């Protein structure tokens, strides 16, 4: 206890220096932990949006769909219904979709587009991109006409089209034949996602199937589960029931999302390592200065019989005390700010309109979650740095010759 | 009286830019329990070097130092530290107290490094502080004490473990004569009443006057031993 007290008091012999070191440690802990908390919330949101707007927690595809997005890589609706029905107790929502590359032609222009065939009534209120009030003109209700279509706002502009206007979609159908049909714009949407607004046409599923000449077939059956923890069971059941389709969990279906998240994590780690390095050097510097100023004291300690190990312990204690105060302050600040941003978020909408990441749109409001794992590791690493940073000062202090020091 | 310290033909040389300095040159001495001795001589006569050799702080180039019959030759740094801790108490010219510890804690520090259980600390420290008139100052830090008071704390630290011998390097050099007198009174009474053995290095005439044995040094050599 006396060593701990000694370490603590020694730090306050030069309060400015110690406070700067503590501020460095606290700042790093705060930054790293707070960023980890923001990142985890952001990643969860990205996964949620990616999963809800894409394959769901698990998806049924043609076995070749994930490697080759050919229009004829279709699965029968009947099989998708059979499998999703068997998962009804676990499932929150299922959606059948088609994705068709097409050429959109208007009297003024022509553009390459992606046609999304969707069960509009089912999806429009739940799809993360569409559930918000993204329809800026027209309606998506009761689109039962064979020519009904919704179109992205930027695409409508490029084609010089507006509500009620007609345009032609030309596709390669499932029999590798050219098929073109006339459509009329019933609604214009603006999601904020460039790809979606620039080159997407949404058709009711029946219309898309008709365009592709593939009645009763789809590209994707997206199944959203009530609880992500049911994924292994659902996957097992779905795989046991499949016939021609293949069943994929979300992470296989959208690997690019995982890649983005991994890259983001690596970025965070690199930043943390740079901070750790700076703090490590700062700690070594502060302790070295402190040790070198006390050469005589260490000489006296050695003279009165203090063993080198005990002197090492004292300096280690200084490093530990310095780190612990810094870590505690950093964690405290992180917890306070995380609580605030968890509840209220940081609204960046005045600076940024929308944040796009891998075809996923995120709101420009930053929320934080709790990454206790990262907080624990960051604190431990900082403590380790404090101890590691004490090693050179320990080496210096134990090399002090008592007779030289007291001369 | 048994021999506490014995020096056999001890020499310590320093080599500098101006050549080799014989700080201690072929000195043989012994000190017995209950001694109140002083190494006297002018600056550079080798008093402090000899005291450091006796205390195991420094090692001789030639010869042998025995502390309670144990030779310091070939001992590791840790073994020497243990020997100093268990057998020798030190008092320095500039007190050398740990500035961040209180009076009580400065004395406690020596018990702590010796590994004495915390529950025994009060029992060992308080009587010593009382004996040295420091009991009311025990919560003060060295910076809140006068020079004389600080030197008393240094004495308390030196004697709390009841060492075989207390080595005092110019203990009165930084004190005014009244304070130095009262401190020497105290050390004399510790010597008489508590049988604490003292060896001083000093050129203070008052210390030399009070010592029972005066060992005079010049250029690292013993030139005279005066027993009174």
Q: What is the pLDDT of residues A7-17, one digit of tens each?
A: 788 888 888 88
Count of pairs with CB atoms under 8 A, one residue in A, one in B: 69
**A200 lies in the same domain as A284:** no
Q: Quick one: fold of B34-60+73-227?
A: Rossmann fold (3.40.50)
Last residue of a domain, one of A250, A271, A291: A250
Is residue A159 within 8 A of residue A104, CB to CB? The reply is yes
Any idea where the domains of chain B sit in the sequence?
Answer: 34-60+73-227
Q: Could you tell me the mean pLDDT of each successive run of 10 residues in chain B, 228 residues long?
A: 86 83 88 90 88 88 88 86 87 87 94 90 92 91 91 89 87 83 85 86 89 91 88
Q: What are A365-401's pLDDT values in tens digits?
A: 889 999 999 999 999 998 998 888 888 888 888 887 7
A403–B118: do the CB atoms touch at under 8 Å? no
Question: Within this chain, do residues A65 and A198 fall inside the same structural domain, yes or no?
Answer: yes
CA–CA min distance B137, chain A (Å): 19
| pLDDT of A6 strictly over 70 | yes
Q: Which residue is associated with the tokens 């009841």?
A: B162
Higher pLDDT, A404 or B119: B119
The helix (H) or strand (E) run that includes residue B185 is: helix B177-193
Pick A9's closest partner by Cβ from B81, B96, B100.
B100
A279 and A246 together in one domain: no
Domain limit, last residue, from A215, A250, A285: A250
Position A340 scores a pLDDT of 94
Beta-carbon separation of A406 and B112 below 8 A:
no
Best A5, A10, A305, A308 member to test B by mutation, with max B CBs in 10 Å, is: A305
Q: Which of B82, B97, B113, B154 to mutate to test the interface with A (most CBs of A within 10 A)?
A: B113
Q: Which domain, by its residues, includes A122?
A: 57-250
Give the burial class of B16: count Cβ atoms within 10 A of its Cβ; 0-12 exposed, 13-18 middle, 19 or more buried: exposed
Among A119-133, A198-212, A245-259, the range of highest mean pLDDT: A198-212
Residue of B nearest to A311 (CA): B113
pLDDT above 90 for A169: yes
Give the model confidence (pLDDT) of A134-164 as tens digits: 788 888 777 777 889 999 999 999 999 999 9
ipTM comes to 0.85
Is the pLDDT score of A361 beyond 80? no
Chain B nearest-CA residue for A407? B48
- Residues A185, A229 within the same domain: yes
Looking at residues A38-59, what average pLDDT do you find?
A: 87
- Which residues from chain A sit within 8 angstroms of residue B52, using beta carbons? 402-403
Which chain A residues touch B88 with a CB distance below 8 Å? Answer: 305
Q: Could you tell me if A228 and A320 lie in one domain?
A: no
User: Is A94 found in the same domain as A21?
Assistant: no
User: Do both A46 and A170 map to the same domain?
Assistant: no
| CB-based contact A3 B112, cutoff 8 Å | yes
CB distance B112–A9 less than 8 Å?
A: no
pLDDT band with cut points at 50, 70 and 90 for residue A357: low
| Mean confidence (pLDDT) of chain A | 87
Q: Do A62 and A46 lie in a common domain?
A: no
For the entire predicted model, the pTM comes to: 0.74
Q: How many domains does chain A have?
A: 2
Least confident among A3-12, A26-35, A315-324, B7-16: A3-12
Q: HEC states along A8-69?
A: HHHHCCCHHHHHHHHHHHHHHHHHHHHHHHHHHHHHHHHHHHHHHHCCECEEEECCCCCCCC
A307 Cβ under 8 Å from any chain B Cβ: yes
Q: What are phi and psi of A283, to 5 degrees?
A: -65, -45
What pLDDT sits at residue B194?
A: 79
Q: Within 13 Å and on the Cβ side, how many CA atoms surround A258? A: 7
**Same domain for A103 and A32?**
no
The candidate with the shortest Cα–Cα distance to A223, out of A234, A233, A236, A214, is A234
Task: Give chain B's length.
Answer: 228
> Does A104 lie in the same domain as A170?
yes
Chain B contacts in chain A segment 54-93 (CB below 8 A): none
Indicate whether A99 and A186 sit together in one domain.
yes
> Where a domain ends, among A200, A216, A250?
A250
What pLDDT was estimated at residue B117?
92
pLDDT of res. A168: 95
Residues 6+ apart with CB under 8 A from A67: none
Q: How far is B82 from chain A (nearest CA, A)?
A: 6
What's the confidence (pLDDT) of residue A251?
87
Question: What is the rounded CA–CA span in Å between residue A385 and residue A117?
Answer: 56
Do A400 and A364 share a structural domain? yes
Helix (H) or strand (E) holding A150: strand A148-152
How far apart, in Å, are the Cα atoms of B23 and each of A20, A103, B45?
A: 45, 101, 7
Contacts for A116 with CB less than 8 Å, ≥ 6 apart: A97, A98, A99, A200, A201, A202, A203, A208
């Amino acid at each position: 206890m006396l060593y701990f007290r000694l370490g603590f008091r020694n730090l306050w012999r030069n309060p400015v220096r110690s406070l700067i070191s503590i501020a460095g440690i606290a700042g790093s802990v705060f930054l790293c932990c707070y960023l980890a908390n923001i990142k985890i919330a952001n990643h969860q949101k990205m996964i949620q949006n990616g999963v809800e707007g894409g394959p769901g927690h698990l998806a049924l595809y043609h076995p070749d769909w994930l490697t080759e997005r050919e229009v004829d890589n279709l699965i029968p609706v009947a099989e998708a219904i059979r499998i999703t029905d068997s998962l009804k107790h676990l499932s929150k929502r299922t959606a059948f979709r088609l994705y068709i590359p097409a050429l959109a032609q208007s009297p003024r222009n022509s553009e390459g587009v992606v046609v999304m065939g969707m069960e509009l009534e089912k999806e429009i209120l739940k799809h993360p991109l569409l559930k918000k009030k993204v329809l800026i003109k027209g309606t998506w209700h009761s689109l039962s006409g064979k020519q009904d279509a919704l179109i992205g706002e930027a695409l409508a502009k490029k084609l010089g089209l507006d509500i009620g206007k007609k345009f032609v979609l030309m596709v390669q159908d499932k029999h590798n034949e050219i098929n073109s049909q006339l459509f009329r714009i019933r609604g214009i949407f603006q999601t904020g996602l460039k790809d979606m607004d620039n080159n997407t046409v949404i058709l009711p599923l029946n219309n898309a199937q008709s365009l592709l000449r593939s009645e009763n077939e789809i590209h994707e059956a997206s199944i959203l589960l009530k609880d992500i923890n049911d994924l292994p069971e659902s996957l097992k059941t779905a795989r046991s029931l499949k016939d021609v389709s293949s069943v994929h969990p979300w992470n296989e279906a959208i690997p690019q999302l995982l890649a983005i998240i991994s890259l983001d994590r690596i970025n965070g780690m690199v930043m943390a390592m740079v901070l750790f390095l700076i703090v490590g050097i700062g700690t070594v510097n502060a302790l070295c200065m402190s040790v070198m100023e006390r050469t005589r004291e260490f000489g006296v300690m050695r003279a009165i019989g203090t063993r080198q190990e005990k002197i090492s312990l004292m300096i280690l204690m200084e490093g530990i005390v310095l780190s612990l105060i810094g870590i505690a302050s950093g964690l405290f600040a992180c917890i306070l700010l995380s609580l605030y941003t968890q509840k209220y978020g940081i609204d960046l909408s005045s600076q940024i309109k929308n944040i796009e990441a891998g075809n996923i749109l995120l709101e420009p409001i930053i929320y934080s979650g709790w990454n206790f794992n990262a907080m624990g590791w960051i604190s431990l690493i900082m403590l380790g740095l404090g101890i590691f940073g004490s090693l050179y000062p320990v080496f210096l202090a134990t090399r002090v010759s008592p007779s030289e020091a007291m001369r | 009286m048994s021999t506490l310290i014995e020096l056999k033909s001890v020499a310590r040389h320093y080599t500098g830019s101006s050549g080799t300095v014989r700080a201690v040159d072929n000195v043989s001495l012994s000190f017995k329990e209950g001694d109140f001795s002083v190494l006297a001589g002018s600056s550079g006569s080798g008093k402090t070097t000899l005291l450091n050799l006796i205390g195991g702080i420094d090692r001789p180039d030639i010869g042998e130092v025995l502390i309670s019959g144990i030779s310091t030759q070939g001992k590791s740094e840790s073994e020497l530290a243990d020997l100093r801790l268990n057998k020798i108490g030190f008092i320095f010219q500039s007190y050398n107290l740990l500035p961040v510890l209180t009076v009580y804690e400065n004395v406690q520090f020596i018990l702590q490094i010796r590994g004495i259980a915390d529950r025994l600390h009060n029992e060992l420290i308080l009587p010593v502080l009382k004996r040295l008139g420091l009991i009311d100052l025990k919560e003060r830090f060295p910076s809140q004490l006068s020079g004389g008071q600080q030197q008393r704390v240094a004495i308390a630290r030196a004697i709390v473990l009841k060492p075989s011998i207390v080595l005092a390097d110019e203990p009165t050099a930084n004190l005014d004569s009244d304070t130095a007198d009262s401190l020497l009174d105290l050390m004399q009474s510790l010597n008489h009443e508590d049988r604490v053995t003292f060896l001083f290095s000093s050129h203070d005439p008052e210390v030399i006057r009070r010592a029972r044995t005066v060992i005079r040094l010049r250029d690292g050599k013993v030139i005279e031993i005066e027993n009174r």
